[in-house]
Amino acid sequence: MSIHISAEKGQIAKVVLQPGDPLRAQFIAEKYLENAELVSKTRGIFYYTGLYKGKEITVGASGMGFPSIGIYSFELFTEYEVDTIIRIGTCGAYSTDLQLFDILNVDNAASESTYAKYAWEIEDEILPHQGNIYNTINQTAEELSLKTKSINVHSSDIFYRKDPAVPAIATKYNCPAVEMEAFGLFANAKHLGKNAATILTVTDIIPTHEKISADERERALKPMMELALESALKSL
């Protein structure tokens, strides 16, 4: 057991899918995994391990922001010897070049955060995906006839802010979308020599205030979930 995950050694698979929301982790486990077992529920953050097409996969939540995903991904990589984490989440689009329901495979995450600097002495303000899983996702998307976009994303510490303008760092690194976890995940994976990727579904268009409704969310997120599961298979 680690400090924040109560699973026993051997109860977490080598590949973990990591949505932010514990209930989304539960949904994926119940819909897609055979013999899914709840192996941790510390602090209400659910982790399930089960079989997908005969291979063992774990799905568990990261929570929101770098402090949260930083803790969970670090403990998964170090205490449970996880090789690969695929974050699956939602994002807002800064630009109408993206549309609702678009699936994004994150190439690089840029951030103003000091997380990487003070955790691992990584000075970069933009970090790439780690390992081969990014390429596996692109290949799998092509095989599934899923259209994905490879982009840079702004990973922000801030959800609400005074200034409505697109932050300077997003403009600097050509980031058409914003989320809150990829940079922290990539920093941990870079420090530890692990594999990490982030797949996002666009659920909000910030300049036009368009949003995917609550009723549409399951339909919107299923292609991303299935892409992550099929990509996970290839990495095992």
Give the active site residues: 204
Kindly state the helix (H) or strand (E) to which residue 112 belongs, with its residue range: none
Contact 179, 62 (CB under 8 A): no
CA dist 50 → 14, 26, 54, 89 (Å): 12, 12, 9, 21
Return the DSSP state at 167.
P
Contact 92, 177 (CB under 8 A): yes
Contact 66, 183 (CB under 8 A): yes
Contact 48, 29 (CB under 8 A): yes
Contact 59, 19 (CB under 8 A): yes
Residues forming beta bridges with residue 69, ordered by sequence position = none
Backbone angles phi, psi at 229, to 5 degrees: -65, -45
Contact 89, 181 (CB under 8 A): yes
Tokens of 26: 């539960």
Strands in 95-139 per DSSP E? 103-110, 126-128
> Considering Cα of 236, then 135, then 119, then 122, what sign does the dihedral take?
positive
